[in-house]
Amino acid sequence: GVGRPRLGVVAREVTLLPRHWEWLAQQRGGASAALRRLVEEARRSQGDQDAQRLAKERVYRFMSAIGGGLPGFEEASRALFAQDGAAFAHRTAHWPADVRDHLAWLARDAFATAPIVATRTA
């Protein structure tokens, strides 16, 4: 097949504008090496942001499937994507304990500042 399967290299299609191909052709090691360097640099510099985005997506998928009909769902969703962990915890505090606790666990990496602490309301 195409690529170097023994090394784990997989060939796939990449679509770029002509100016991008021109720039890549001028880089040390050619287009493939330049793309690998760019990907590794982005992984290093944006790894935390990517993890946070993926965590938010996991939280939202679970919320939509399990808590989509619960009161405060829309407000909790807004808080999630607004990076407001306190508002998220407040909006989900009255949800069933198992749902709320699982959301808190899923959301452990979704907020940049402080982790979400599940709180009970009486």
- Decide if 57 is inside a domain: yes
Q: In whole angstroms, how large is the CA radius of gyration of the chain?
A: 21
Mean pLDDT (the chain, rounded): 85
- Across the range 72-100, mean pLDDT stands at 93
pTM of the model: 0.61
- Decide if 117 is inside a domain: no
- Decide if 118 is inside a domain: no
- Decide if 114 is inside a domain: no
Give the angle subtended at the CA of 116 by the CAs of 109 and 81, to the nearest 5°.
65
How many distinct structural domains can be found in the chain? 1
Domain of residue 42 covers 5-109
Amino acid at 71: P
Tokens of 29: 């090691």
Residue 62 pLDDT > 90: yes
- For the segment 6-58, what is each residue's pLDDT rounded down to a tens digit? 777 777 788 889 999 999 989 999 888 899 899 999 888 887 888 889 999 99
